[in-house]
Amino acid sequence: MLFRRTVLASFAALALLPLAASAAELPDLGGKSVVVVTENAYPPLQFVDPKSGKAIGWEYDAMNEIAKRLNFKVEYQNTSWDAMIQAVSDGQYNIGMTGITIKEDRKQKVDFSDPYMRSQQFMLVRGDENRFTDAKSFGEFKDGLVGAQPGTTPFYTAVYEVLDGNEQNPRIKLFETFGATVQALKAGDVDVVLTDGTAGKGYVDASNGALKLIGEPLGTEDFGFIFPKGSDLVAPVNAAIAALKADGTLDGLNKKWFLDYKMGE
């Protein structure tokens, strides 16, 4: 219930987006092709459906609707998180989407859209975990290990809000993908993974009790799509995000993926 209240509160943050745009005012991009890259490892934002094998999720639905309203054709490609920002910065892809936190240092390399979602981080642990119950007790549990991807918001939260501020702390075990951190958690190779509630809830729902979320929110982050610096797609996409908010489309996606959808069912 805590997660659900947090998610519902997060939706309210979308009200910060401008509401002036309407479908009639959106630019027409003339059917141009736009390459969108993602990781497919962040349920329910984007992931591979275990039943159908198809890539689905909130961000896919949102991007497809944006493409429809702006009249461009989407070509989806995949890359790892650690390569994504640089690859978009280099112009290998037109847009990146994978629940990317809007941060000032990242703005040096890429342009961000307006935020389309606000999320808060939680501790993801095994279902039978009872040695610690929150960030403070985990920090005091000297044998506890954190799994994280280098350079991500959860990595820095683990370093500076849970542990001792040492980015080389041996209690942090690094992995290439978020999915790999969760697999390490399930296998007992690490004891906690920090994740925003959206991804964490998806993994918990699919785990049959093997995973759970604990503790209070550790931080707030706004998600945005990323573009090469100076991209002429930023303004149209921002206008489309505002239109999706104004007509309730984003509310519908929030309900579909955060309240109604059940992983693995």
Positive or negative, the Cα torsion across 175, 52, 205, 74? positive
What is the biggest distance separating any 2 CA atoms in the chain, rounded to whole angstroms?
Answer: 58
Instruction: For residue range 101-158, list pLDDT tens digits in order.
Output: 999 999 999 999 999 998 788 999 999 999 999 999 999 999 999 999 888 888 989 9
Tell me which of 151 and 59 has the higher pLDDT. 59
What confidence score (pLDDT) does residue 236 get? Answer: 98
Positive or negative, the Cα torsion across 248, 249, 250, 253? positive
Scan for tokens 């005012």, then name that residue: 25
* b/e burial code for range 86-95 (CB count within 10 A of at least 16 → b): ebbbeebbbb
Residue 198 binned pLDDT confidence (cut-offs 50, 70, 90): low
Amino acid at 71: N
With vertex at residue 250, the alpha carbon angle to CA 105 and CA 53, rounded to the nearest 5 degrees, is 85
With vertex at residue 112, the alpha carbon angle to CA 256 and CA 240, rounded to the nearest 5 degrees, is 50
Mean pLDDT of 245-250: 94
Q: Which two tokens stand for residue 87?
A: 């690859």
> How long a stretch of residues is the chain?
265
Q: Does residue 96 carry a pLDDT above 90?
A: yes
Q: Helix, strand, or coil here: 256? A: helix
Return the percentage of the chain with pLDDT > 70, whole number.
Answer: 89
Going along the chain from its start, the domains and CATH numbers come out as 33-116+224-259 (3.40.190.10), 119-222 (3.40.190.10)
Cα 100 from Cα 114, distance rounded (Å): 12
Q: Does residue 169 carry a pLDDT above 70?
A: yes
* CB within 8 Å of 218: residues ≥ 6 apart: 120, 121, 122, 123, 135, 157, 161, 162, 194
